[in-house]
Amino acid sequence: MYETFEHTADLGLRIRADDLNSLFAEAGRALFSVIVENLEDIRTIEEIPFTININDVEELLHDWLTELLFTFHVRRLLLIKFDVNIQASGLTAIAHGEKIDLKRHEINLEIKAITWHGLKVVQSPTGWMAEVIVDI
């Protein structure tokens, strides 16, 4: 589950999940839900592998979202499904999606960067929660 919240000229993402792998997968979906209006129209026809070797969970989330954003900007890919596996040494993941097709995809907002401001990842008795502010 994820939601957005206003933050001056930026936009915040608040993500909740039962476990850390799901939290990172939901964070990916949250990011692309801001980029594309019709998220449900993204097909899973391409697979993109990711490996990030960082053991700090907040830094890992920042770099994960930055890699996804980089993939969007450079490869022009919209991603919808994320199979994430987090270990002590970092993250491995497969993201699924397709190239942007402006005839089918409604681009909503341009995200310029993932910020460090207010970034947090916390575990509670009911699961995990993250907050990330993106520069739009």
The predicted structure's pLDDT at residue 127: 97
pLDDT score, position 7? 58
Q: Identify the pLDDT of residue 136.
A: 87
Amino acid at 38: N
The number of domains in the chain is 1
- Measured distance CA(27)–CA(24) in Å, rounded: 5
Q: Is residue 120 part of a domain?
A: yes
Instruction: Tell me the pLDDT band of 9, cut-offs 50, 70 and 90.
Output: low
Q: Which domain holds residue 9?
A: 2-55+76-135
pLDDT confidence of residue 1: 77
- 42 in any annotated domain: yes
The domain that contains 105 carries what CATH number? Answer: 3.55.10.10
Separation between Cα atoms, residue 100 and residue 36, nearest integer Å? 10
Instruction: Indicate yes or no: pTM above 0.85.
Output: yes
Please state, for a pLDDT cut of 70, what percent of the chain lies above it: 96
- pLDDT higher than 80, residue 12: yes
Residue 70 belongs to a domain: no
Q: What is the pLDDT of residue 5?
A: 65
Q: How far apart are CA 53 and CA 98, in angstroms?
A: 26
Average pLDDT estimate for 99-115: 94
Q: What CA–CA distance (Å, rounded) separates 82 from 102?
A: 22
Task: Give the three-class secondary structure for 35.
Answer: helix
**Mean pLDDT (whole number) for 59-69:** 98
What per-residue confidence (pLDDT) applies to 104? 95
**Structural domain includes residue 80:** yes
